Amino acid sequence: MAKIQTLKLNDGVDVPVYGFGTFQIPADGSTYKAVREALNLGIRHIDTAVAYFNEQEVGKAIRESGIPRNEIFLTSKLWLQDYGYEAAKKGIDTSLRKLGLDYMDLYLIHQPYGDVPGAWKAMEEAKAAGKIRSIGVSNMTPTIWNNFIPQFDTMPSVNQVEFNPYYQQKEIRKIMAAAEVQLEGWGPLGQGNKAMLADPVIVKIAENHAKDSGQVILRFELQEGAIIFPKSVNPERIKSNMEIFDFALTDAEMEEIRALDTGKGCHNPDAPGVAEALIGAFDVHAND
């Protein structure tokens, strides 16, 4: 298996460009098993969140993997319920406790609504204290970015947003590039978007490289400069998703895929009512 490259964030922290996502993997042993499988295959970047309700299994898998902690890059995310300065301080400590780890490599503002500046201040302090190595944001559109980022003392290291060939986030990427903020793409396979996987342009390019559509999509995203972490609980699929380091798309192929952008995704953070719906979605501390 090819060695996964790393890139340097704007705060000097190195992050593997390819990782493993755990969204919607239940905490019934499935998360533990999938993370162990990913680590066994050589993946060293794991993405979780308070709101995935599986931090405990992710942390257990990391602790019991036998891999030195400093060789694994772990991301978690603060939920809306814990925004504001005091609440975020507690939220960070709760995540560390559930993970059973001394620090997180990256911690993100998961949904950018409410007292984001207060939460950010607590994250900056946690970073200074060594509890977090890097801090970032998620789901920030240009409108949300321009509202909150000017209120921050420090620039985020990443913005994790929905990103795939059908939704290429061109506007926010321009803003981020100017600020040297790294793109992380969630839903890199469009959350199993069948139309995208069967798109004639992608299928033809896949045939050219003797790869499958998913591998071409993931390769495109890497070459666009995104950090990606596809999710699967199927060991064969986890393995095949990684087989994207032994080929490269040509400039012409990249242009063909860039032309597939629809400018729309499955989640619109700017839509009316999104903040209210998310805040009332669930209680992340129900089982604390």
87-141 pLDDT, tens digit per residue, is 999 999 999 999 999 999 999 999 999 999 999 999 999 999 999 999 999 999 9
For residue 41, the tally of other CB atoms under 10 A from its CB is 14
- Asked whether residue 237 is domain-assigned, the answer is yes
- Asked whether residue 111 is domain-assigned, the answer is yes
163-172 residue pLDDT tens: 999 999 999 9
Residue type present at position 210:
A
- Asked whether residue 260 is domain-assigned, the answer is yes
- Confidence grade of residue 1 (pLDDT, cut at 50, 70, 90): low
Query: Which helix (H) or strand (E) is 134 found in, with range?
Result: strand 132-138
User: What CATH number is given to the structural domain containing 185?
Assistant: 3.20.20.100
- Asked whether residue 145 is domain-assigned, the answer is yes
SS (HEC) of 21-81:
ECCCCCCCCHHHHHHHHHHHCCCCEEECCHHHCCHHHHHHHHHCCCCCHHHCEEEEEECHH
Residue with tokens 């699967």: 232
- Asked whether residue 94 is domain-assigned, the answer is yes
Are the beta carbons of 88 and 118 closer than 8 angstroms? Answer: yes
- Confidence grade of residue 192 (pLDDT, cut at 50, 70, 90): confident
What is each CA distance from 277 to 22, 111, 112, 271, 281, in whole angstroms?
22, 11, 13, 11, 6
16-28 residue pLDDT tens: 999 999 999 999 9
For residue 62, the tally of other CB atoms under 10 A from its CB is 20
Tell me the CB-side half-sphere exposure of residue 216, using CA atoms within 13 A. Answer: 26
N-term to C-term CA, the chain = 39
45-55 residue pLDDT tens: 999 999 999 99
- In the predicted model, what is the mean pLDDT of residues 160-184? 98
85 pLDDT more than 60: yes
> What mean pLDDT is reported for the chain?
96
Q: Where are the alpha helices (DSSP H) in 232-273?
A: 235-241, 251-258
Sign of the CA dihedral running 98, 99, 104, 105: negative
- Annotated catalytic residue within 18, 32, 52, 83: 52
- Asked whether residue 217 is domain-assigned, the answer is yes
- Asked whether residue 226 is domain-assigned, the answer is yes
Domain span holding position 186: 6-279
> Token digits for 238?
């986890």
The answer to whether residue 52 is catalytic is yes
The radius of gyration of the chain from alpha carbons, rounded to an integer in Å, stands at: 18
Question: What percent of the chain lies above the pLDDT cut of 90?
Answer: 93
3 pLDDT more than 90: no
- In the predicted model, what is the mean pLDDT of residues 79-84? 96
- Asked whether residue 288 is domain-assigned, the answer is no
Are the beta carbons of 162 and 258 closer than 8 angstroms? Answer: no
Number of domain units in the chain: 1
pTM over 0.75: yes
